[in-house]
Amino acid sequence: MGGTSDVVTFEGSWAGPVVATSVHAGHGLRAEIADAMVLDEATRLREEDPFTDRIAAVVADRVVTTRSRFEADLNRPRREAIYRRPDDCWGLDVWHGGELSDELVEGSRATYDAFYDALAPRLDALAERGPFVLLDVHSYNHRRDGADAPPAPVADNPEVNVGTASIDRERFGPLVDRFVAELGATELGPGSVDARENVAFEGRQLAWWVHDRYPGAGCVLALEFKKTFMDEWTGEVDDEALDRARASLAATMPGLVEELEKLR
């Protein structure tokens, strides 16, 4: 069940009950957006989620997006999805003249709409077969004070933040509990994974949209991997650390499938 467009590609057969996304992994821009941008590439990369597509790839059935969140943020509500002004994106000066033009905004909204228009029929078919899990894979910075400054406190920055705020806990609670426990039992460096729910992130638009569209069927686990698998200031990846992150997520797959079978 392949399929592609210039915005989104679908990998795998989509026959199973678990799928994955990495909607902030993309770095590409359509030409007119690239021409309007003054933000330097290193800063843009630091605010994107590079290599999360490689983590999500442990799931055979997945959504691949290549456009940057600076063109259209697929994990924000549509009205907030385009970064027009610095206030929309961490105070960053992104565009010539300080603000994105109405014409370019509309083109970026078309990118946003194309993603959800393509995803909807895929998930519609999945939901018709029974409950499913969507693993929404992201990453986050923890050295914002500078490359040589101490990292952010571990107490407020788990290795993996599992966003579950909009999940139907009555329906999916046992699945969520097992997932967090099994992820936390894996090893991601010296010791087991520090996996906690809703510490810094709770899941956003993609989770809201799935849970609203597929009540009782769709369960989105919004995963924020701390960028310990890369240098967030240089963009250099640590392949061994990334492989450990991939292995940790892969280890949860059998449990997810088993819990979904119980719900059928």
The three-point CA angle 64-70-103 to 5° equals 110
Contacts of 153 (CB under 8 A, 6+ apart): none
User: How many other C-beta atoms can be found within 10 angstroms of the C-beta atom of residue 41?
Assistant: 10
Q: CB of 123 within 8 A of CB of 165?
A: no
Mean pLDDT in residue range 230-245: 96
Give the pLDDT confidence of 158-201 residue by residue, as tens digits: 999 999 999 999 999 999 999 999 999 987 666 789 999 999 99
Q: How confident is the model at residue 110 (pLDDT cuts 50, 70, 90)?
A: very high
Mean pLDDT in residue range 144-148: 92
Query: From CA 1, how far away is CA 11, in angstroms rounded?
Result: 8
Q: How confident is the model at residue 243 (pLDDT cuts 50, 70, 90)?
A: very high
Where is average pLDDT lowest: 1-10, 195-204, 237-246?
1-10
Q: What is the pLDDT of residue 127?
A: 98
Q: Is the pLDDT of residue 96 over 80?
A: yes
Mean pLDDT in residue range 107-119: 97
Enumerate domains of the chain plus CATH numbers: 3-263 (3.40.630.40)
β pairing state of 132-140 and 218-226: parallel
Q: How confident is the model at residue 4 (pLDDT cuts 50, 70, 90)?
A: very low
Q: Is the pLDDT of residue 1 over 50?
A: no
Mean pLDDT for the chain overall: 95
Q: CB of 163 within 8 A of CB of 197?
A: yes
**Helix, strand, coil in percent for the chain, rounding step 5:** 40, 20, 40
